[in-house]
Amino acid sequence: MAGRGGRRLDDDTGCRPASNHRRTLGTKEKFWVRAPDEGRYLFKYARIRHGRTMGEDRVEWAVHELATLLSVPTATAIPALHGGRRGVLSLSVLAPGDRLIHGNELLARTDPEYDSQVARQNLRYTVEAVHVALSGVTAPSPCRPPIRTAFDAWAGYLMLDAWVAGRDRHHENWAAIEHAGMLRLSPSFDHGNALGFQEPESQVLALAEDDELLARWARRGRSHHFGDRPGLVHLASTALGLTGSGVREYWLDMLADLNNHDIESVLANVPTDYLSEAGRTFRVKLLHLNRERILHGD
């Protein structure tokens, strides 16, 4: 371990590359490793732009911790270092014999005209289309009543996105797990594009200090993958409106009942050399603001 800096993969930790360790899906540099406990983890490097590490590693860890507070099942995320570069370890959601079927494949099964290769905005990628595609798929095993169907859980994923300003719920960023001929929704994964990770420090300072600027910034949060590029809060509201009995109330109650101290403690655990005090203030304010927007509307 490297203290709060994360796990080091290039010292004597016992981690080793998996036999089929390379992965090409997506645009980030990544590879599979196998831990001493035989768990398979995907290591994803944090991107570097103009000499600045973008921070997706710590964001992915933080969103996993925040999702746990909500009882939204997510892939375990652990900050890590490899070759002096920052990244995150994401625990595989698959058991031996499982197969991951991404959302674009599920959508194409129920919509013959669905273009599963579109990288950004897809006019046929809608909440309603996902509702149809997930028909007959069960919720992830950690979920409890009233969360019974995959779509009940998926609506919770969209509420999580709206809360953390996560804009990357494209059709390959969710999936079902096939096991012994049965399908269940995978835990949510790949949350690096959230919490304003891309903002330069000058903008972070302004957002931390100016509540009106922060409110305008939050309202601009949209998904650029769904057909009509909806706002994140509207997207979550639409999904919650299509869920089974009591599900909308369940997810909203989970969000409303969160303890502010628990929320703030997640960001307090990010080392100061990775997240400035202004960055911490901005994210805490954003989470409080988005919670109010989801619960009470814009």
pTM: 0.92
Helices 277-296 and 260-268, packing angle to 10 deg: 150
Note the pLDDT tens digit of each residue in 131-179.
Answer: 999 999 999 998 999 999 999 999 999 999 999 999 999 999 999 999 9
Q: What is the mean pLDDT of residues 272-288?
A: 95
Query: Which uninterrupted H or E stretch holds 60?
Result: helix 56-70
Note the pLDDT tens digit of each residue in 99-112.
Answer: 999 999 999 999 99
Structure letter (DSSP) for residue 173:
S
d(CA 275, CA 279): 6
Give how far Cα 102 sits from Cα of 79, 112, 263, Å.
25, 16, 30
All structural domains of the chain, each given as residue ranges with its CATH number in brackets, are: 7-91 (3.30.200), 99-296 (1.10.1070.20)
Query: Which uninterrupted H or E stretch holds 217?
Result: helix 211-219
Note the pLDDT tens digit of each residue in 34-71.
Answer: 877 778 999 999 888 877 877 889 999 999 999 999 99
